[in-house]
Amino acid sequence: MRVIALGLAMLAALGLTAIGLPQVWYPMWFDQGAFAACGDVLRRGGVFLRDCWDVRGPLTPALYALATALEPTQPAVFAFNLAWQATSATLLGVLAWRMFGSRLSGMVAGALLWLTMATLNYWSVAQAEGFANLCFIAATLCVWEAGRFIDRRQTRWLFAGGAFAGALFWFKYPFALYAIVLMVWALAQRRHIGAAALVGAGAALTTALGSAYFLINGALEDLLLHLSYAIANFHNKPLDERWAWLTGLFWVEITTFVQIGSTPTAGFKDTVPQVQSLGRGYPFIMLLVALGAVRSMWSGTRREAGRLAVLWLLTTMLLNLWQGHSYRYHFIIWLPPMALLAGAAFADLRPARLIARLAAPALFVAAVAGQVLAMWPWMRDAYDNVVVQGKSPHTLHLETKEAAQLLLAEFLRDNAAPADRVAVFSDTPVVYFLAQRQNATRFPYLRWADESRDADVRAALAEAYLSDLTRNPPRFFVLSRDGFPWASARFIETWKGMPDVHRFVEDNYEYIGENGPYILFHRRT
């Protein structure tokens, strides 16, 4: 029996791995390109914000630098991401087992988290949210484990939980809210302020370590400007607009995440069919979440675990609301607590009624079927292209709608020496990574020039852009045409709206032609 069980476990592991493998050959989108560009700078010894600016925190670019330490390629990043998600799913399985006292709960929770992460669309993988989930899980596990002890081990677990929660700040600033939530939880469970203080001390430590990084590298001023930008962009909506967004657009975005956010293509390759069967499993996952919440709250022995899991899920929802807008990949932080609560539905499969005993297994089978069906065309496509036809990642990239960025990167790599710098005035930061040519400025994209809602912050960033440009004149200055990389993009207007930058380029560069949707300028000798 043990041999059979081991064999089945190995088959399940291989099947779950196969479902996620097509991600290795995805092209990078805007966010991954920004992380990769900054990761490249960090890998070369640069400092985040001082040498490469992104709206989010430094931990995701640092992970990209780690992923590309041996080979700076897109498949290296996505393979690293899959390994990270496998680790997160395993740790969530351990957490579910510890919280609900059932190995089956752990296996269900881990499998569902892996499946939901493995079936995301190409612009949702390797995001800050996906990487941050590991810290959310680790923080929750540590605080939960602290409840098993009354000696110094409790102190260590609480402190470690706070440290993981504090690290979330350096993925995205609003994620620090979870440290406060865990402090309140520790206070409520332990009935003394010392427990909350230990969680807070751990969070303060990782926050201080991150701040020390900027201080030591002379980038503290850049960090403060970055925080000003974040505050202006995330906290500027009046309550009535937020309420309208909550009751309208927010629910549209949740539905769209299920319908499109979990669709692997999301428009980058139209030759692979999109499977709509079973709602990609999400309706059944949501029903499992509800069932797990009810069953855990109903049980005296698992009520505390259920409350913590629900609190975690509500916190992730609040984080989305707090940001005041919601891109579909923002919902990724919901997936671990949802999988955890789904696992809770399997903590006790002995209800008196047969229908109650079958409810959770039936919902799980339907959820898995929906997830696998969504990914099956992509598994088949990857097998046909990579194994049967033997196509390289380069060829596969050229067959997608993101090919224009690769073609520009190849032009820059062929026409600029490794020591030359280039500047792409657009929102296609992946070009720097693909070309392996250094950015003349610290800004891998220019969205901030249009979206910054604080005029003073925008002026400071524009001044930094011009300063970098004049200090490190690029060999090529590149603009993207209207409507690229998305329909509303107008970077020619943005460029002209920065008079000093426009004048610098007009005075020192000459038009030499086009490369797909890009307009090329070469520095005059």
Quick one: which H or E segment has residue 212?
helix 193-216
Residue with tokens 């969070």: 203
Mean pLDDT score across all residues of the chain: 89
Contact 260, 279 (CB under 8 A): no
Burial of 447 (0-12, 13-18, 19+ CB in 10 A): middle
Among 133, 139, 154, 152, smallest CA distance to 63 is for 133
Closest CA relative to residue 496, chosen from 519, 471, 512: 519
Question: Are residues 260 and 121 in contact, defined by beta-carbon separation less than 8 angstroms?
Answer: yes
pTM over 0.85: yes
Q: How far apart are CA 303 and CA 298, in angstroms?
A: 7
Could you give the CA distance from residue 86 to residue 118 in angstroms, rounded to a whole number?
A: 9
- Rounded-to-5 percentages of helix, strand, coil across the chain: 70, 5, 25
Q: Write the pLDDT tens digit of every residue in 425-435.
A: 999 999 999 99
3-state secondary structure 301-357: CCHHHHHHHHHHHHHHHHHHHHHCCCCHHHHHHHHHHHHHHHHHCCCCCCCCCHHHH
Tens of pLDDT along 158-196? Answer: 999 999 999 999 999 999 999 999 999 999 887 678 889
- Per-residue pLDDT in tens (0 to 9) along the chain, 525 residues: 666 666 666 777 788 888 899 999 999 999 999 999 999 999 999 999 999 999 999 999 999 999 999 999 999 999 999 999 999 999 999 999 999 989 999 999 999 999 999 988 888 899 999 999 999 999 999 999 998 877 788 889 999 999 999 999 999 999 999 999 999 999 988 767 888 999 999 999 999 999 999 999 999 999 999 999 988 877 556 666 666 656 665 565 566 656 544 555 556 777 777 776 777 888 889 899 999 999 898 877 888 999 999 999 999 988 887 776 667 788 899 999 999 999 999 987 666 566 667 888 999 999 999 888 888 888 888 899 999 999 999 999 998 889 999 999 999 999 999 999 999 999 999 999 999 999 999 999 999 998 887 889 999 999 999 999 999 999 999 999 999 998 889 999 999 999 999 999 999 999 999 999 999 999 997
- Distance (Å, rounded) from C-alpha 443 to C-alpha 440? 9
The candidate with the shortest Cα–Cα distance to 291, out of 369, 371, 368, 349, is 349
